[in-house]
Amino acid sequence: MKTERAKVKIIPLGGIDEIGKNLTVIEYKEDIVIVDCGLKFPDVDMYGVDIVIPDISYLVKKQDKIRGIFLTHGHEDHIGALPYFLKQINVPIYGTKLTIGIVETKLREHGLLATTELVRVKPKDKVKLQNVTVEFIKTNHSIADSVAIAIHTPLGVVLHTGDFKIDHTPIDGGRTDFARLAELGRKGVLVMMADSTNVEKPGYTRSESIVGETLQRLFGKAKGRIIVATFASNIHRVQQIINAAEMYGKKVAVSGRSMENILQVAIELGYLNMEKDTLITIDQTAKYNNEDIVIITTGSQGEPMSALSRMAASEHRKITIVEGDTVILSATPIPGNEKHVAKVINQLCKKGAEVVYGSDQNVHVSGHACQEELKLIQTIVRPKFFIPVHGEYRHLKQHAELAVKMGLGERNYVLPETGDVIEITRNLIKKNGSVTSGQILVDGLGVGDVGHIVLRDRKHLSQDGILTVVVTLDRESASVIAGPDIISRGFVYVRESEGLMDEARDIVKEVLSECEENKITDWATIKGKIRDELRNYLYEKTKRKPMILPIIMEI
């Protein structure tokens, strides 16, 4: 009997050819290590869907081997699917202090805190499992406390960068641990997975410190109140806003639920430094002059229900935008949000606010590495094999090309797809089959009950509405006892379309009397005829195709 050669298996269950829903499975012998467990926000054609999570049915079957979920940082696309995962498989969660702090809040909301083992780690910590050891390595990103994860196997090191940028002047003083990465590189990294998000962008991502300098300049210039919108989780950005406020003796208030939640965690865990009287409540702002107030808020993506959108639309209960306000959008629109953000900017301008936004204003920097940083990581780590991750297909392809230009062998990378089983030995990387994978749609409490048919119907309804036809028929003769009645929603404005509806009813009556004459008493046939005749009539009259729903009641 031949013994199977030892190999590392890497199975991405998300984060491939998409932005979000990051989850990578790494297997060696009896150990399964999971890196991240994120959600994705729905595509435009996923009508009514709240979030999208990875399909983990492959893991359900292997749960006894899973040693834990190892988190790189606390963004939703890396931790957001945890509650759904934990409801199916209970495993320990490892992460740095802030990451675990954010996860705690999330699990508390889902009633999962008591039953979940949370393990706080620090950069340089190592967790020994049965056959492998997991190590955490300090990186920089647009949230504090981010790490790369190195899995030491007898075949070599498997390195996952997580989301990262290289920031030589980060806000907390903690720089990427190049020394450790170089040491691993020297000893030999078997395979590296690296963040491809910004691979299309040449040069370097600017340092977070740049934003601080801009804020100080803008705060010095502002004549009235200052409102800064940014991502709630960007604690370093919030720190810089607080620093700039304190520099000019201004008070800081916070608006927006997610901003309040994350700030509370960050303050409790010691991630924010400020004088003890800097922070005030929104209600307390009334006691100060406008020029002494800074408000930190959510809504930098123009989300319709966010605090900033409500201020812009005069729908915020406590904050009214006035002439002289300076509003700083410390973020760039995520693809798909451009129009929402533009709407908010226009509304704020109309109210007389000075709005500062746009990539050339230095009010925001990216959290992801650009080309020169990706090259630097390749040079330092010198992995034998490479798997580009965290990006759409075009990003992954460009990232592989970049690695090959840096000297990686043409056969030493794979372009992964979700669910691929990537097998790695000392000398070879190859795909070997695939496992069940995909996206699970979450809508309200329903996990996976919204599928293709429901979405197709929602799309149809959204375009042309629905027309319901109800009639009560005699069970035997199919003669009409009551009706037909026609009720429409989302089709036409009924009061102006009475003629159309009357004619539609006549058409249904005709179909019914024809059926009765021809002794057709099969309800399905009658419904089919009603649907066909109405569809043709309505399309001819309106060039629209509402959903037509015939309902027959029998007596």
List contacts with its own copies (CB under 8 A).
Answer: 17, 43-44, 47-48, 200, 202, 335-336, 338-339, 342, 345-346, 349-350, 355, 358, 360, 392-394, 397, 443-446, 449-451, 453-455, 457-466, 468, 470-472, 481-483, 485, 487, 489-493, 496-497, 541-544, 547, 549, 551, 553-555
In SS3 terms, 426-446 reads as CCCEEEEEECCCCEEEEECCE
Q: How far apart are CA 241 and CA 231, in angstroms?
A: 12
Q: Which residues contact 513 (CB under 8 A, 6 or more apart)?
A: 480
Q: Choosing from 236, 368, 395, 399, which is the catalytic residue? A: 368
Which DSSP letter does residue 291 get?
G
Catalytic entry in 167, 177, 195, 420:
195
Of residues 132 and 356, the one with the C-beta less far from its own copies:
356
Q: Tokens representing 522?
A: 């099969």
Question: Closest distance between its own copies and the C-beta of residue 294, in Å?
Answer: 23
Give the distance from CA 233 to its chain's centroid: 13
Least distance (Å) between residue 245 CB and its own copies: 26
Handedness of CA 495, 497, 500, 501 (dihedral sign): negative
Task: Give 320 or 463: the residue with its C-beta nearer to its own copies.
Answer: 463
Which of 188/451 has CB closer to its own copies?
451
Which residue, 268 or 539, has its beta carbon nearer to its own copies?
539
Q: Give the shortest CB-35-to-its own copies separation in angstroms.
A: 24
Q: How far is the CB of 488 from its own copies (least distance, A)?
A: 9
The answer to whether 368 is a known ligand-binding residue is yes
Type of residue numbered 334: I
Cβ 228 vs Cβ 295: under 8 Å: yes
- Residue whose CB is less far from its own copies, 120 or 397: 397
Backbone angles phi, psi at 483, to 5 degrees: 90, -160
Sequence-ordered list of residues with C-beta below 8 angstroms from that of 241, at least 6 positions apart, any chain: 215, 228, 230, 252, 294, 296, 330
**Crossing angle of the two packed helices 371-381 and 178-187, in degrees rounded to 10:** 50
CB nearer its own copies, residue 111 or residue 188 = 111
Provide the minimum distance between the beta carbon of 417 and its own copies in the complex, in angstroms, as a whole number. 9
* 77 annotated to bind ligand: yes
- Measured from the CB atom, the residue of 44 and 286 that comes closer to its own copies is 44
Residue 179 known to bind ligand:
no
- DSSP β-ladder status, 31-35 and 51-54: unpaired
513 assigned binding-site residue: no
In 318-370, alpha helices (H): 338-350
365 annotated as belonging to a binding site for a ligand: yes
* Minimum CB distance to its own copies, residue 472 (Å): 5
Q: What is the CA radius of gyration of the chain?
A: 29
- Our answer to whether residue 368 is catalytic in this structure is yes
Q: How far is the CB of 548 from its own copies (least distance, A)?
A: 11
Residues β-bridged to residue 502: none
Is 141 marked as binding a ligand? yes
195 flagged as catalytic = yes
- What's the Cα-to-Cα distance from 481 to each of 384, 470, 473, 508, rounded to whole Å? 78, 11, 5, 14
Q: Are 145 and 97 in contact (CB under 8 A)?
A: yes
* Measured distance CA(138)–CA(205) in Å, rounded: 18
User: Rounded CA gap, 339 and 129, in Å?
Assistant: 48
Contact 437, 54 (CB under 8 A): yes
Binding residues for Ca(2+): 48, 50, 443
Q: What are the catalytic residues?
A: 195, 368
Residues flagged as binding site for substrate: 232-234, 364-368
Which residues fall in the annotated binding site?
48, 50, 73, 75, 77-78, 141, 163, 232-234, 364-368, 390, 443
- Binding-site residue numbers for Zn(2+) are 73, 75, 77-78, 141, 163, 390
